[in-house]
Amino acid sequence: MDVWREFGFVYLVDAMAPGAPAGTVYRIDTRTEPLPKDLHAFSTHAFGVTQAVELGRRLNTLPATLIIFGIEGKSFEAGKDLSSEVLDSMRKVTQILLEELP
């Protein structure tokens, strides 16, 4: 959250698991829409992306633009390689970012 304050435009890409097929891509503009209630972002920290965004919203410290791209994961076991579905979606999100970046 502290890093976000330095930027007016932030894109965040993270693994998510709301229950859709592996590789499903979500694009969420946090300034114009709430995070889905069934959204579960996986973090190696006790405080995840969802909690950071909602706390930033309540404290009015979100950047002017904060876009989250979530990619539905297939397996969250430590040491597992990314599935082909997730790799394909990562490529798609990379292309979208290259097109959207100012």
The domain containing residue 12 runs over which residues? 4-100
Helix residue ranges per DSSP H, 25-65: 49-59
Q: What are phi and psi of 26, to 5 degrees?
A: -115, 140
C-alpha 100/C-alpha 102 separation (Å) is 6
Tens of pLDDT, residue by residue over 77-97, are 888 888 999 999 999 999 999
Number of domains in the chain: 1
Tens of pLDDT, residue by residue over 1-43, are 778 878 888 999 988 877 889 999 999 998 888 777 666 555 5
pTM of the model: 0.80
Domain of 77, CATH number, reads: 3.40.50.1450
